[in-house]
Amino acid sequence: MNWLVTVSSVFLVAVPGWLLMRAVRMPAAPMMGGMISAAFFAVAGWGPQEAPAGLSVVLQIILGLFIGLRVTKEADRIVKEMRVVSLLASGWWLSLPLLLGWVLFRFFGMDLATALLGTVPGGLAEMSLLAFTFGADAAMVAIMQFCRLASAMLTIPVVARKYSTFRLVDGAGTPPGKKPRPAKKEEWRPDGPLLTAVALAVSGGLVGNGIAIPAGGFVGAMAFTGVASYFALPMRGLPKVSRDVAQLGLGSIIGLTATADTVALLMRIFLPTLAITAVMLLWGFALAFMVRRLSGWDFMTCLLATSPGGITQLAAITEDLGGDPLRVSLLHLVRLFTVYLLLPPLIVRMAWPGR
Question: What are the pLDDT digits (tens) for 22-80?
Answer: 888 776 678 778 888 988 888 888 878 777 778 888 888 988 888 788 777 777 777 77
Distance in angstroms (rounded) separating the CA atoms of residues 273 and 108? 11
Q: Does any domain span residue 185? A: no
In sequence order, the 6+-apart residues with CB closer than 8 A to the CB of 128 are: 138, 141, 142, 145, 250, 254
Task: List the single range of 68-77, 175-184, 254-263, 285-294 with lowest mean pLDDT.
Answer: 175-184
Q: Does any domain span residue 332? A: yes
Q: Are 68 and 201 in contact (CB under 8 A)?
A: yes
Q: Provide the percentage of residues in the chain whose pLDDT is more than 70.
A: 81
Distances (CA, A) of 193 to 67, 146, 228: 16, 34, 11
Amino acid at 326: L
Helix (H, G, I), strand (E, B) or coil at 53: coil
Q: Does any domain span residue 187? A: no
Q: Is the pLDDT of residue 198 over 70?
A: yes
Q: Is the pLDDT of residue 232 over 90?
A: no
Chain centre distance of CA 331: 13
Instruction: Classify burial at 142, counting beta carbons within 10 Å of its beta carbon; exposed 0-12, middle 13-18, buried 19 or more.
Output: buried
Average pLDDT over residues 305-331: 73
Range of the domain at 85: 2-180+192-351
Average pLDDT over residues 228-240: 86
DSSP string for 32-51: HHHHHHHHHHHHHT-S-SSP
Q: Output the domain CATH number for residue 105.
A: 1.20.1530
Q: Does any domain span residue 11? A: yes
Distance in angstroms (rounded) separating the CA atoms of residues 103 and 189? 50
Q: Provide the percentage of residues in the chain whose pLDDT is more than 90.
A: 6
pLDDT at 313: 60
Q: Does any domain span residue 75? A: yes
For the stretch 114-142, pLDDT in tens is 888 888 887 776 787 778 778 888 778 87
Distance in angstroms (rounded) separating the CA atoms of residues 183 and 161? 22
pTM of the prediction?
Answer: 0.66
Q: Does any domain span residue 23? A: yes
Distance in angstroms (rounded) separating the CA atoms of residues 114 and 347? 10
pLDDT range class, residue 95, cuts 50, 70, 90: confident
Distance in angstroms (rounded) separating the CA atoms of residues 208 and 61? 10
Total domain count, the chain: 1
Q: Does any domain span residue 186? A: no
Q: Does any domain span residue 117? A: yes
For the stretch 135-192, pLDDT in tens is 888 778 877 887 777 677 667 766 766 654 444 334 444 444 444 455 455 555 667 8
